[in-house]
Chain A
């Protein structure tokens, strides 16, 4: 029983999906952890990447599809940033507005149909199968891991530049960014554009991975990505930037593994969103729960000590 649940196959699939979805978690790492903005356009942006990649892969080239998805993501991020930096829209509202608008745009990109198929089209994964054939069944993982490794390295390098430092400072103390002669509106815009690009790239990869696109593919993505982020931060720690970035990818893979195990226990696919929500709630509340238990433990110990002293006193 256990052997079938923790088989190599499950692990492999979990790692593949973990690497692909890890890009969204990386996007949220930038917007949520670094810039301190809750960007709720993530769901729509992910679907946008999915839809654009499908359309371009059908008519163009699979690699071009990823580039097009990223460009679309940049546009989405730019609109979200424009709303909050220039038009004074609250950041959460800006994300919700863009997310809502994207639904129609995504449908339009998909030719006003709610699903698209890439079954007969070459994808970046079918290309990898021929060029990375020597890896056997591991070619998908190799490709996904390669892409996220590049994304992580680029992110790490980017955050070390002065622009990256200003983006980090924007989330930390915006007044101080202004004092160092950089416009926070600019850093927020750059940050959200990069975040949008990563998010849509993830969608574009997933579309080619599962050879299809669905208008609801992005639903709940922001929750799942946040879960990965927080699992990573809790388990890997956040002492250095490298650790934090690796933690994000690790969290994403672990999350996918938990989901895979849940599916193996015959949890119906329709219940997966609820399972996701529960995992997220548990992951996010972990520090608070831990703190509460530590407090109770200390109080109990103190009370026990007091009882002993009282008895001795009598």
Chain B
């Protein structure tokens, strides 16, 4: 079954001015349920814009978005967030710093609420037990700090908590926008391992932006490449498993018709 279907999405920012910027120039994409695709592309290729179009940060100028068979093209952001989880590079973005871990989780758990009066409910003992159990899976000792404000946690802990919040109620789609890029290598690895296990366990359909070419080929079952607001390359299955980082870079040049201008991509090639 197709979980996500993007049909010819277009978005131009500041149309008709000198700052006109074509951010999405006809993006079409089909994702099967349980697909995990990585996205690479130079800065300004439209990766984050694509994510914002899907979550409803803005409404696309043209095209349509179907999620789980439902047309969500014009649904407001807060409605889409019931079924879409979104993690950003900035680990501070996904949590409320002055509220406790428990309170943050309680808000995330609201997405499960079906009864209209759920907003007047309080955090129950059952909720607390559930939160404690889920926090323990992160293996960061957060289950013993549930009454502490999130602002006291480290960036890595906050990103792990955000990941937990986004998947506490299994979303139909998880969007990861370089969510480990701002963390130190050891923590990044840990958050990535958590991501892999949660996504695999709950069979979440997932899109992940990365600048690490190894990750792009290693994680998930599909790799997409974006340039100038379009998906220029899409590989999965046997063709993908045969691919090397050099092949991927070569593909980029071929498709985009220019050299890579992103130093981070080049660096990540040198590193390994």
Give me the interface of A with B, judged by CB distance under 8 Å: 160-163, 165-166, 168-169, 172-173, 175-184
Q: List 6 A-B contacts (CB under 8 A).
A: A165-B99, A169-B96, A176-B93, A178-B78, A181-B81, A182-B119
How far apart are the CA atoms of A169 and B113 in the complex, in Å? 18
Tell me the nearest residue of chain A to B93, going by C-beta. Answer: A175
Q: For the complex formed, measure the closest distance between the CB of B67 and the CB atoms of chain A, giving whole angstroms.
A: 14
Instruction: Verify if B108 is at the interface (C-beta below 8 Å from A).
Output: yes
How far apart are the CA atoms of A160 and B165 in the complex, in Å? 19
- CB pair B119 A162 closer than 8 Å: yes
Q: Chain A residues near B96 (CB, 8 Å)?
A: 168-169, 172-173, 176
- CB pair A165 B166 closer than 8 Å: no
Chain A at the B interface: SS class: helix
How far apart are the CA atoms of A184 and B78 in the complex, in Å? 9
- CB pair A181 B120 closer than 8 Å: no
Instruction: Verify if B118 is at the interface (C-beta below 8 Å from A).
Output: yes
- Of A160, A175, A181, A183, which one neighbours B111 at CB under 8 angstroms? A181
How far apart are the CA atoms of A172 and B150 in the complex, in Å? 11
- Apart from A162-B113, A173-B96, A175-B93, 11 more pairs, CB < 8 Å: A160-B123, A163-B120, A165-B107, A169-B96, A169-B107, A172-B98, A172-B99, A176-B93, A176-B94, A181-B81, A182-B107
How far apart are the CA atoms of A177 and B104 in the complex, in Å? 10
Tell me the nearest residue of chain B to A34, going by C-beta. Answer: B98
Mark out the residues of chain B between 59 and 107 whose CB falls within 8 Å of any chain A CB in the assembled complex.
Answer: 76-79, 81-82, 85-86, 93-99, 103-104, 106-107
Q: For the complex formed, measure the closest distance between the CB of A175 and the CB atoms of chain B, giving whole angstroms.
A: 6
Q: Chain B residues near A162 (CB, 8 Å)?
A: 106-107, 110, 113, 118-122
Q: Chain B residues near A181 (CB, 8 Å)?
A: 78-79, 81-82, 110-111
Tell me the nearest residue of chain A to B147, going by C-beta. Answer: A240
Q: Chain A residues near B82 (CB, 8 Å)?
A: 181
Q: Chain B residues near A163 (CB, 8 Å)?
A: 119-120
Number of interface residues of B (CB under 8 A): 31
- Of A168, A169, A178, which one neighbours B81 at CB under 8 angstroms? A178
Q: For the complex formed, measure the closest distance between the CB of B95 and the CB atoms of chain A, giving whole angstroms.
A: 6
- CB pair A169 B99 closer than 8 Å: yes
Q: Chain A residues near B99 (CB, 8 Å)?
A: 165, 168-169, 172
- CB pair B107 A176 closer than 8 Å: yes
- CB pair B111 A180 closer than 8 Å: yes
- CB pair B119 A180 closer than 8 Å: no
How far apart are the CA atoms of A176 and B104 in the complex, in Å? 9
How far apart are the CA atoms of A146 and B248 in the complex, in Å? 72
Tell me the nearest residue of chain A to B121, going by C-beta. Answer: A162
Q: For the complex formed, measure the closest distance between the CB of A150 and the CB atoms of chain B, giving whole angstroms.
A: 18
- CB pair B81 A160 closer than 8 Å: no
Tell me the nearest residue of chain B to A176, going by C-beta. Answer: B96
Q: For the complex formed, measure the closest distance between the CB of B45 and the CB atoms of chain A, giving whole angstroms.
A: 23
- CB pair A176 B95 closer than 8 Å: yes
Mask for B28-69, Cβ within 8 A of A = 1, else 0?
Answer: 000000000000000000000000000000000000000000
Q: For the complex formed, measure the closest distance between the CB of A85 and the CB atoms of chain B, giving whole angstroms.
A: 13
Mask for B107-130, Cβ within 8 A of A = 1, else 0?
Answer: 110110100001111110000000
Tell me the nearest residue of chain A to B56, going by C-beta. Answer: A178
- Of A173, A178, A180, A184, which one neighbours B108 at CB under 8 angstroms? A180
Q: Chain A residues near B111 (CB, 8 Å)?
A: 180-181
Q: For the complex formed, measure the closest distance between the CB of A68 and the CB atoms of chain B, giving whole angstroms.
A: 25
Q: Chain A residues near B103 (CB, 8 Å)?
A: 165, 168-169
Q: For the complex formed, measure the closest distance between the CB of A90 and the CB atoms of chain B, giving whole angstroms.
A: 21
Q: Chain B residues near A180 (CB, 8 Å)?
A: 81, 107-108, 110-111, 165
How far apart are the CA atoms of A179 and B105 in the complex, in Å? 12
Tell me the nearest residue of chain B to A182, going by C-beta. Answer: B78
- Of B76, B86, B165, which one neighbours A183 at CB under 8 angstroms? B76
- CB pair A161 B107 closer than 8 Å: no
Residue among B85, B98, B111 with the highest chain A CB neighbour number at 10 A: B98
Tell me the nearest residue of chain A to B79, going by C-beta. Answer: A181
Mark out the residues of chain B between 143 and 170 whose CB falls within 8 Å of any chain A CB in the assembled complex.
Answer: 165-166
How far apart are the CA atoms of A172 and B104 in the complex, in Å? 11
